[in-house]
Structure 1
Amino acid sequence: MTRAEPAASIAAEATPGSDFRRRLLDAMAEAVRERSYRETTVADVVRNARTSRRTFYEHFDSKQDCFIALLAERNSETIQQIYDAVDAGAPWRTQVRQAIEAWIGASQQDPTITLAWIRDIPALGEAARQVQHDAGEAFINLIQSLTATPGFEAPGLHPLTRQMATILYGGYRELIAFTVEQGRDISEIIDVAVDTAIALVGPRYEPPR
């Protein structure tokens, strides 16, 4: 079985645009790092991008629209990094670690934005909920795809069902957020995340009769 390729984009907002669009997305990320999303204003974004309000509104309808576009892009990039990091020909336990290390590594690149994605997006209305839903679907599909290769077809292994993949996605997401909020290094959760995935996928322990 071959591994499915990731979707080209989680949402339309993640599609690369003009140089100004790129500058505005980067400026939004900078403003969120400096002030948090709630405190960020369009003026902050425009100042960081060294452009005008007119240019901002040529690319985005609102501060929220720009923020959602940034998060959609980051999630697409994270999923691609995970796919790229996993060697489908490696032993299955190695593949599990490769995937989780790539996920944590992507989260570490910009932990403030990672936390903003988890904590701020649920309160931003229908458009944000759609992006959140699409991101969840993409991560769940990713997890199932990564465990649907020949390396995971050995006797006794259990390729993840959708429900199991959903539990892993939600649990890892919350654990990452909690660790960032505590001001701790996200890499410290790698081993427990790997052990959890291996426990779900690996052979079940059956006590002797």
Structure 2
Amino acid sequence: MSDFRQRLLDGLEASIAEQGYAKTTVAEIVRRARTSRRTFYEHFTSRDECFVALLTEANADQIQQIRAAVDPAAPWQKQVRQAIEAWIASAEARSALMLSWIRDVPALGSAARGLQRDALDHFIDMVDALSDSAEFRSAGIGPVPRRRIVMLLGGLRELTAITVEEGGRLSDVTDEAVEASIALVGFRDQSDALACS
């Protein structure tokens, strides 16, 4: 990635943190990046395209942090806690960007559909990989159904947004997020259990 492109992404993130995405302009991004509008348009066709690039990068970083935090040899509940704690640490480090992702992206319409789909697919792939360990298998868990992963992600995102909007700290909701995630991931369809008995 070119130095100018990274500076533009950093400029956008700094502006979002200070005044939100809605009030951020290309002029503000280039001012913070200490470059020109011409340079901006050499890398991005629009502010929205720059935003999508920033969020794509942030999503990849978050998933990498979560994967790195989980010990596949730990008991499965501990792995869930490690993943949620990494999620929260990542979200806290970039809380304004996380809130903007949740609240501003839907307004982008078709420009962000690919981003949302790709982010969800990457999150699902990560949960599939993390739950494909001996600890999960020995507990009779996995693969976690796609719809359940979608509910898990949606719940975590909304909890993140509400907590940030209310001025709370994400670390204050860690235990509740872990308990809910364990319940979702560890849930086994009772009709299957009854059929096997």
Matched, 1:27 2:11: yes
| One-letter amino acid matched to 2:129 | S
**Secondary structure of the corresponding residue to residue 92 of structure 2:** helix
Matched, 1:42 2:26: yes
TM-score by length of 1: 0.86
Mapping 1:22-171, distance limit 5 Å = 22-157=6-141, 159-171=143-155
Report the Cα offset of residue 33 of structure 1.
1.2
Counterpart amino acid of 1:92? W
Q: Which residue of 2 aligns with 1:8?
A: none
In the alignment, is the contact (CA less than 8 A) between 2:48 and 2:111 conserved in 1? no
| Deviation >6 Å, runs of 4+ | none
Preserved CA contact (<8 Å) 2:9 2:50: yes
Kept in 2: contact 1:86–1:98 (CA 8 A)? yes
* Counterpart in the other structure of 1:176: 160
Alpha-carbon offset, residue 156 of structure 1: 4.7
Gaps of 5+ in 1: 1-16
**Residue 159 (structure 1) shift:** 4.3
- Paired positions, count: 190
For residues 78 and 157 of structure 2, what CA distance do their matches in structure 1 show?
21
How big is the shift at 1:198?
1.7
Change (3 A) 1:171 1:61: same
Native 8 Å contact 2:70 2:83 kept in 1:
yes
Percentage of matched positions with identical amino acids: 52
Deviations 1:165-197 (A, max 9, x none): 111111111111111111100111111111112
Return 5+ residue gaps in structure 2 as ranges.
191-197
Counterpart CA distance in 1 for 2:44 and 2:95 is 24
Instruction: Identify which of 150, 171, 175 aligns with 1:191.
Output: 175
Where is the helix percentage greater, Structure 1 or Structure 2? 2
CA distance in 2, matches of 1:21, 1:182: 33
1:82/1:103 contact within 8 Å kept: yes
CA RMSD of aligned residues (A): 1.7
